[in-house]
Structure 1
């Protein structure tokens, strides 16, 4: 009798957890890829039910064959992957492409940020723009020296003329990781850098969350087995010294979005790092918070003993639906559309 009561209790608890999230769609952006490996997806809402995804793909991460690919979702179908940017420098020199980030500004300009270079310590930042939602793209433009733009996660547009970019650097000797912010106007001009006190943390790839009255929060990947945060009370001009959150993380990329109702939604790997770099990336969860301090896991997207399900992207569309994507075993990009029920 006690055994059946325990089973019933588990069913009730599982059902209660499932009621937080309704999965509307769950599939892969592509099945038969024209590349061997892929990683680092990004999403943008183009309006009218259209979602664009981008990622890098080629022989393997860092290989000069790696280029930026895009696919457009109209209805429930994704278009075939299309290469839109490469790392060709001249007739004899070519490098890998890295970490695309899609962003649509208030004026309708779609920007594709990405990196070119031999590795994350020596890469440089470029971007392309589109006035027709990615049907055609401009030539690549290199950012001013010393600027890297968004490293992995999407920027936020604070005002008509201020776009804030979550950025970071990795030192050439690989010992130092540090985050900073960059900002530009809505024409990708007038770049400025905002420094942040990283204390003793090794951090990269921040996400930006927004709150009322100019309050902002950063959530960062770290080498310390925890997601690290910083806060601003003046619209991003000044930031607090980095501090650890209560969220475990195995030195793996995460992403977060501020929802239309003011809550914060985080997608992340909730384990700690293993001996090898990919260990700890076999579980992927969604967590939610009202204040950015207390987080609650509300849905498990992946739960495996081993494997890599990582580097997520998350956005909310104009209709309130949440869209997310992530790397699935470096072979495909998984896509999920969902709605929060409470």
Structure 2
């Protein structure tokens, strides 16, 4: 009798948990059903005065020279057909793939789109375009200064002193081994002039890329990074990002795959990631499931919502909170489509 009672209680708890997850997930849909490209990856999204927008790279496959940056707008609750807004064409006989777009809406200003161009992550460079009408029309692409990539995958944050803090990283090959190092770039004039920090990790004992920046009420900043070590890594700043602590490994699993995070208006931190680790002897690990976790201190994370559980690749997410308090996110769906979801953060716990 006791065993049956325990089983019933567990079944009830699982049912309640499942219902809570479904209620928190307000919407989940593909941005497009058909597109002029077979493969896509590395989406980004932003809220503009004209509505929600998203971008990603698409083409034959990652690294193929026909890969371009595609863009879509959410209009009357429907996503517009993807349109190419940037490519790597240099002249009539040479072009390169594009990579990792990042959108940022300037307060009372233009919509910025940063992206990378080049054969590989070790040889790419940064470019940017901007729009004054929410992505209907765009400026010509402008190449960023040498060694400046712009935000490498995840969104920048605007500090109270007017600095746009862009989390970035470099992948350098030394003796046939990739060395991953995290940096910070800053611009106070929306991408016209820049400064860059030195590397924040050695790229030997600790390898990290693609940081997200979180903020805390006491003024601290935290960067959470992808790594090769089957765990996320983080750094902390107490002086508005001018100096940073030594990089440290966390207890959050990471299969060498991109993540993103956002500081919610209620003070909680929200992380989207694959809760798996590297397969033994392989470059990475499974990119499924995909889930959300919350934290109040940036150190202890509590899983609160699983977005994907089936076998496949559900990766490279982007996450923001809109003015109405809802959380919006996009991610790669089996390298074939971009999925968009809306979550009510009040229902996550």
TM range (shorter): over 0.9
1:179 correspondence with 2:182: yes
SS in 2 for 1:285: strand
Please give the per-residue CA displacement for 1:132-176, whole angstroms capped at 9, x wherever unaligned.
Answer: 111111111111111111110000011363100010000134420
How far, CA to CA, are the matches of 2:60 and 2:283 in structure 1?
20
1:303 correspondence with 2:304: no
Please give the per-residue CA displacement for 1:41-75, whole angstroms capped at 9, x wherever unaligned.
Answer: 00001146x21010000000000110000011124
How far, CA to CA, are the matches of 1:310 and 1:276 in structure 2?
17
SS in 1 for 2:241: coil
Q: 2:287 is matched with which residue: 272, 281, 291?
A: 281
Q: CA RMSD in A?
A: 1.6
The residue number in structure 2 matching 1:312 is 317
The residue number in structure 1 matching 2:87 is 86
Alpha-carbon distance change, 145 to 298 in structure 1, aligned in 2, over 3 angstroms: same
How far, CA to CA, are the matches of 1:54 and 1:46 in structure 2?
13
Instruction: Extract unaligned runs of 5+ from structure 1.
Output: none
| Contact 2:232-2:252 within 8 A present in 1 as well | yes
The residue number in structure 2 matching 1:201 is 206
**Superposed counterparts of 1:67-146, under 5 Å:** 67-146=68-147
State the TM-score, normalized to the length of structure 2.
0.93
How far, CA to CA, are the matches of 1:47 and 1:105 in structure 2?
10
**Superposed counterparts of 1:1-342, under 5 Å:** 1=1, 2-3=3-4, 5-16=6-17, 18-19=19-20, 22-47=24-49, 50-159=51-160, 161-172=162-173, 173-199=176-202, 200-274=205-279, 275-277=281-283, 279-304=285-310, 306-340=311-345, 341=347, 342=349
How far, CA to CA, are the matches of 1:47 and 1:24 in structure 2?
22
How far, CA to CA, are the matches of 1:293 and 1:248 in structure 2?
13
State the 4+ residue runs in structure 1 displaced beyond 6 angstroms.
Answer: none
SS in 1 for 2:72: strand
How far, CA to CA, are the matches of 1:78 and 1:93 in structure 2?
32
| Contact 1:106-1:160 within 8 A present in 2 as well | no
Instruction: Extract unaligned runs of 5+ from structure 2.
Output: none
How far, CA to CA, are the matches of 2:15 and 2:193 in structure 1?
51
| Contact 1:17-1:299 within 8 A present in 2 as well | no
SS in 2 for 1:311: strand
Alpha-carbon distance change, 266 to 303 in structure 1, aligned in 2, over 3 angstroms: same
State the TM-score, normalized to the length of structure 1.
0.95
How far, CA to CA, are the matches of 2:5 and 2:60 in structure 1?
52
| Contact 2:228-2:284 within 8 A present in 1 as well | no
| Contact 1:160-1:186 within 8 A present in 2 as well | no
| Contact 2:211-2:226 within 8 A present in 1 as well | yes
Q: Give the Å deviation of 1:113.
A: 0.3
SS in 2 for 1:214: coil
How many residues are matched?
A: 340
| Contact 1:211-1:262 within 8 A present in 2 as well | yes
